[in-house]
Amino acid sequence: MFVKHSTILFVFLSIFICSCSSNKPEIKEGTIIYSADYPNHKKNAFLYSILPKEVQISFKDGVVRNDISRANLQNILLFDCNKKQMDIYFQYGEEAFKTKLTPNEIQQMLDEQYQYAIELVDESDTLAGFNVKKAIARNKKNKLDVITLWYTDEIAIKNPNWYNSFGQVPGVLLAYSVDRYGIRMDYKAVKFIPEMDESKKRLFTLPAKGTAISYSEYTKKMNDLFATFE
């Protein structure tokens, strides 16, 4: 086991949290801060207490970085929305792993996700300073799984949601829910920082160190670790 139980729960957060969209060129870079909640796991005090309650997503010129760090743990997911490419980096202590997904692995990742029918709704609001629109996602295999989505078209990133379950939504998701490793996660944008300093702009490449593994190996490690909670 390459991580402790109290750290593996941070890994899965990144995979489906950020989205890529927009026809408007106004906003090309910045950081979105999301609150995170786990409605089905509040009775498990230990599990709920160590799950992160905040996630930050940075983007610039169509590249999106999800970076979660705590003590000597770092988990990075890097999405190139222009080229539809994805990289993963995970470090805990002296151990580091990285995965550059092939086109087939990206398709495998997409096939593993729940499939939703998307209904765009004529309803609007504001969230974290953005104008947002509403959509409803209905699980094609589970009629009880219905998710309310809020998205904005005010961020200039192409290829909306190409790597998540909500590919038909034409905007950056600012409120939504996803399932990963048996955990339902609710995300809601709470703050937007419109510009990044030069040090953050250099973060859109992964660290050089780390043992290269395949996406299947990465997924197996995560599944094996989460199986210990059953």
Closest C-alpha among 180, 182, 183, 161 to residue 170? 161
Residues 6+ apart with CB under 8 A from 10: 52, 68, 70, 73, 75
Domain boundaries, the chain: 5-112+177-227
Give which of 130, 145, 175, 216 is closest to 18, Cα–Cα: 175
Q: What is the pTM of this model?
A: 0.82
What is the per-residue pLDDT for 11? 47
Cα 121 to Cα 46: distance, rounded to the nearest angstrom: 38
Q: For residue 197, what are its two tokens?
A: 């300093």
- Specify the pLDDT at position 75: 76
230 residues of the chain, pLDDT tens digit each = 555 555 454 445 545 555 555 444 479 899 999 998 989 888 877 777 777 788 888 898 888 888 776 666 677 889 999 999 999 988 777 888 999 999 999 999 999 999 999 999 999 999 999 999 999 999 999 999 999 999 999 999 888 799 899 999 999 999 999 888 778 889 999 999 987 665 565 678 888 888 999 999 888 877 776 666 55
Q: Is residue 137 within 8 Å of residue 166, measured between CB atoms?
A: yes
Contacts of 223 (CB under 8 A, 6+ apart): 181
